[in-house]
Amino acid sequence: MYSASRPLERPRALVSDALWVTYRWMTLGLATTGLVALLVASSPSALELLVGNRMVFFGIFIAQLALVFGFSAAARRASTTTVAAMFFGYAALTGVTFSTLFLLYTGASIASVFLITAGAFGGLSAVGLVTKRDLSAVGRFALFALIGLIIASLVNMFLHSSGLQWLVSIAGVLIFGALTAYDTQKLKETFAAGEVSANMPLVGALILYLDFVNMFLFLLQLFGGRRRD
């Protein structure tokens, strides 16, 4: 019997539609990042400006942080057009910074690692959708582990330890893999509850986008083929 203290769950079709919109936004964001990265990487002058001028690089990084921190607040009160513009702006700026990956890794290895990431992400996201197990504990552990990962990464900026970097990369893949399953389940439950704003699919898209790109970066550190020139 329905209790007035609990919202009615939305029909499965509506939940599926909301998830589909979320994945579509995320895919478009990844496509934007990839396209911008390729365009910047193909321009020697753009790469020289990005790599040779630290002010430009850190300015882009600060702009990314500002967009991420402002995104959630804007999603609650701004129009979908504005929130979408912020999402694609962040994806484009990420593409600019990702263009430098082509200076470190071969194009073939970047493409192959991207496909590996897509497969892993798809499988883990599917787990989050279909599992009956509550993944809240997994999500909490992954978030705490993420703090340790950030600290270890900062420490290794000074130590330059290849062994520690290898461990950080493996931990990063596992953490963002766990977060992918957890975030997917959480989004599904949020959509099922029906208490969401019109911009929630965009919020979910950014969350899953961040899971994907971070998993990609750590996998690239493990399996990416370094340039020899």
In this predicted structure, which of 54-68, 92-106, 198-212 has the lowest mean pLDDT?
54-68
Q: What is the pLDDT of residue 10?
A: 60
The pTM score is 0.93
Which residue, 171, 173, 179, is CA-closest to 142? 179
d(CA 75, CA 86): 10
Q: What is the pLDDT of residue 229?
A: 64
| pLDDT, tens digit (0-9, with 9 covering 90-100), for 129-153 | 999 999 999 999 999 999 999 999 9
SS3 8: coil
pLDDT exceeds cutoff 80 at 60: yes
Q: What is the pLDDT of residue 197?
A: 76
d(CA 126, CA 20): 13
Answer yes or no: are the C-beta atoms of 186 and 143 closer than 8 Å.
no
* β-sheet bridge partners, residue 208: none
| pLDDT, tens digit (0-9, with 9 covering 90-100), for 161-210 | 999 999 999 999 999 999 999 999 999 999 998 866 789 999 999 999 99
* β-sheet bridge partners, residue 226: 105
| Number of residues that make up the chain | 229
Phi-psi region of 67 (alpha: psi -120 to 50; beta: other; left: phi over 0): alpha
